[in-house]
Chain A
Amino acid sequence: MNKAEQSVLKVAHLGIAFGGLKAVNDFNIEIGKSELYGLIGPNGAGKTTVFNLLTGVYEPTEGAIFLNGEKMNGKKTHQMVQAGIARTFQNIRLFKKMTALENVKVAMNMSMKYSLGSAIFRLPSYWKEESEVNIKAKELLEVVNLGDKADFIAENLPYGQQRRLEIARALATGMKLLLLDEPAAGMNPTETAELLDIINVIRTKFNISVLLIEHDMSLVMKICEKIQVIDYGVTIAFGTPAEIANNPKVIEAYLGKEDE
């Protein structure tokens, strides 16, 4: 019981069925403060579905989600984010026509308080908050090594930078738990290495927990403290990277699927 209060995220017996098909079944995970967990599994195993459940895109049909001890079932996506869970997307979802800086600022909207009247009449609170947010957003871009790209239109950035911009945007929500959905997908080794550094930096700097979906095994093995493996919506293994690497069930699940 005590652990539930300490842990940032506690998920108990989480499940969802789409018309009879159980996409995720009896999913349990508990992530403590500033821990980094990995969630792996073959294609179609239900990893992204877990993320969608954790961010309120889908409502679970079974089980419960606790964030800092508070039950989160039935909350909408924006409420989940306001409570402290932010995510990135497998297929990048940026505000394409906006600049990098604006992308980050959008995610800060929920911490901004100036009213409609202040905006329309340009009252002092407008100027104050806008300039504060400007500074903070630039800092976050620095964190993901995009400090010099603030005025670039998001869709014009190279792929790897777009992924990092997504991380900066997620950070801007001021979350406690960061969900990264295949952050290294499509990256070359240099970009992946840079990403690794960034993930480590943000963990220590912002003191947040991270749950990571990834296909790049070397990356997962290198940075995750604990790894959970799911297949067909069911957890088949859980443990340290070393334990997972030698788990026969995991090897079996991945056999013949290496070509993906």
Chain B
Amino acid sequence: MNKIQNKKWAYIINFIGICILFSLLMILFNSGILGTSTNYVKGILTTACYTIIMVASLNLLTGFMGEFSLGHAGFMSVGAYSSAIITNMLVDKGIPDIILFVIALIVGGFAAAITGTLVGIPALRLRGDYLAIVTIAFAEIIRVAFTNFAITGGGRTMSGITKLSKFSWCFWVMVICVTFMYMYVRSRFGRTVIAIREDYIASAASGINVTFYKVLTFTISAFFAGVAGAMYAHYMTAMIPTNFSFMYSAEFLTEVIIGGTGSLTGSIMGAIFLSALPELMRDFSNYRMLAYSVVLLLVMIFKPSGIFGTYEFSLTGALSRLFHKKEKGKGGAADE
């Protein structure tokens, strides 16, 4: 029972840590230290928020389930377009922005989750490289569909989407999404999924319905990609189906791999780093993807598990190491 109490405390401490981080960011923005670039930095951080959700949700598949999706941007686009259509319909109805935002996220998430299930049921009969190829194919079909539908702009830019994605809202949505994913991974569901990654034959021989858990995880991953898509749409306010191309999917996968497959910490760091990088490298935008691919190649050759491997940062662990240097930090303490 003591262990459980410890875990619950760890959750509270982590929550406080996140609140402190949020307050610091808010103080930073409101104090005017950043001057004219306040909005610019906020923009980068908002981008980082939905990128984190995308990368973490892709890591559920790649890191924990051990399967590829090279079409994650496809699910993102489903979330983006469906939520944009809904908010366009509701925008003049006098609904407060925050509620409209939540509706957008939920609609985006569920639309993508439904798509995820529909794609997952046939696709997940395949494994490895074949599955990877099929996810590209599905994403391309989704893209072609959005290019053809009139309601999604009929191949042209869909613009005039209400700007709802404020940084402070996106921050908390990101925190909630990542927490949910973390809780999923550290539960019987996550344990099962990792077992399937390790050996699907042995999993079945342990009474696990492999297909069910794979489709479930795929659906959850798509759900969060849809939420991220909704944030994207209401941040960008304009989009075109080609935004969600294979290259965008490949970028997310790159971030997962470099950060570390099987580490949500790695996903977060990877996403933040790679969201900030293009801004820092504006003048060298041609070299950006080149640099990604070189880093990816180096990681594959020298450390295939990614920079963070399966390591998860633990605030409680870090604190206890800080205060009681003698006490050995026990591995596996709950945190994100």
Contacts and interface: CB of A to CB of B under 8 A. Distances in A.
A130 B190 CA distance: 13
Contacts of A114: 187-188
Interface in B175-212: 180, 183-184, 187-189, 191-192, 194-195, 198-199, 201-210
Contacts of A240: none
Given A87-B205, A106-B192, A122 B199 contact: no
A53 to B, nearest CB: 14
Interface string A99-139: 00011011101101010100111100011011101000000
A119 B188 contact: yes
A109 B212 CA distance: 13
Contact of B205 (A81, A98, A103, A129): A81
B4 interface: yes
A136 to B, nearest CB: 13
Interface in A162-214: 169-170, 172-173
Contact of A97 (B188, B198, B206, B208): B198
Nearest to B183: A120
A78 B180 contact: no
A164 to B, nearest CB: 15
A98 B199 CA distance: 11
Interface stretch (A9-17, A88-96, A251-259): A88-96
Contacts, number: 98
B192 A78 contact: no
Contact of B199 (A86, A95, A121, A129): A95
B187 A119 contact: yes
B184 A96 contact: no
A76 interface: yes
B202 A95 contact: yes
B183 A119 contact: yes
A78 B204 contact: yes
A93 B199 contact: yes
A110 B207 contact: yes
> Binding site of A, secondary structure by majority: helix, strand, loop or mixed?
helix
Contacts of B210: 78
Contacts of A61: none
A77 interface: yes
A167 B82 CA distance: 50
A242 B30 CA distance: 89
Q: Which of A77, A86, A107, A114 has the most C-beta atoms of chain B within 10 angstroms of its own C-beta? A: A77
> Binding site of B, secondary structure by majority: helix, strand, loop or mixed?
helix
A82 interface: yes
Interface in A44-77: 55, 57, 76-77
Contacts of A87: 205
A109 B208 contact: yes
A117 to B, nearest CB: 10
Contacts of B191: 98, 102, 105-106, 109
Contact of B207 (A82, A93, A130, A131): A82
Nearest to B210: A78
Nearest to A110: B207
B206 A169 contact: yes
B208 A106 contact: yes
Nearest to A172: B206
Contacts of A105: 188, 191
A76 B194 CA distance: 21
Contacts of A106: 191-192, 195, 203, 206, 208
Given A102-B191, A106-B192, A114-B188, A127 B207 contact: no
A249 B210 CA distance: 43
Contacts of A76: 204, 209
Q: Which of B11, B198, B203, B216 has the most C-beta atoms of chain A within 10 angstroms of its own C-beta? A: B198
A94 B199 contact: yes
A42 to B, nearest CB: 25
B184 A119 contact: yes
Given A55-B205, A78-B210, A114-B188, A122 B195 contact: no
6 residue pairs, one from A and one from B, having the closest CB atoms? A119-B187, A81-B207, A95-B198, A93-B202, A77-B204, A107-B206
15 contacts: A55-B205, A81-B205, A89-B202, A95-B198, A96-B199, A97-B194, A98-B195, A106-B206, A109-B191, A120-B180, A120-B184, A122-B11, A122-B183, A129-B188, A130-B187
